[in-house]
Structure 1
Amino acid sequence: MLRCPTCGEKPIFPPARKVRSLADWFTPLDGCPQCGYPYEREAGYFLMAIWGVNYGLIGLGGMSLYFILRINTDWNPLWIFCATVLPAPFASILFARHAKSMFLALDHFFDPHLRTPQREKKTD
């Protein structure tokens, strides 16, 4: 995971030791240095990855954990709420790269980039 969906050799994101800001953490490289596969097709390409995959899975996981703790423990509901809601933003930040990677792999599976440009049909 977190590697180019085409060649599987080079990473999609800069290494964690080179990250200097939160924007660096979220921003993928321009493309694969090995095969040239562009990671971002257009502006806003990764919005579905963040909104659908990242927030969806973090929210679903948090709600599931809430109900599991609510049913199986005798904790105060406020403590259960705090135990499930407070870690969610941190989990979302940590999972953002994986969500983008999964979205990129799914998009490449269903709609791969063409390595060579399509030939234009000749019209007479």
Structure 2
Amino acid sequence: MTRFTDIKLGDEIYSVVFGLGKVVFVLAKSLRLDGYYVFEVEYENGQRTHYTEDGRPGWCKDINNCTKTIHYKHEIDFDVLDTKVKKKILKKHKIDKLRDNDKLEMMSPAGGWIDANLMPDMMVDNAINNGKYHLFRKMKSK
């Protein structure tokens, strides 16, 4: 599904990883190839990321097996985002166990709790290796 076929410069985007951003580059339709990056978003924190027409991010290691993490800003109901800070901090071994069992959530730079599998692996690894355990919690039951 190519959700971002008609993306334009200046469109407002929301990433569950990086928060709010704007489209700063769009490749002309005549030059696009399926599966390749066609637009770039710059986020409020200065992060810049490329995306395919499907919304797959450039930081994903396996582009064919990557969850889409962006939406148009107008599609998001900001009232339902979970941004509550957790008081109990998990231990490293508990974080590793939850991660192995796909039951780990991480506080994204955007300010919401999301499945750690949706985050760039490098970001999760850096947080764990630097002892930022407060950024993790056990996934809530659905």
Please indicate the TM-score interval, normalised by the length of the shorter structure: under 0.3
TM-score with structure 1 setting the length: 0.27
TM-score with structure 2 setting the length: 0.25
Higher radius of gyration, 1 or 2: 1
The answer to which structure has the higher helix fraction is 1
The answer to which structure has the higher strand fraction is 2
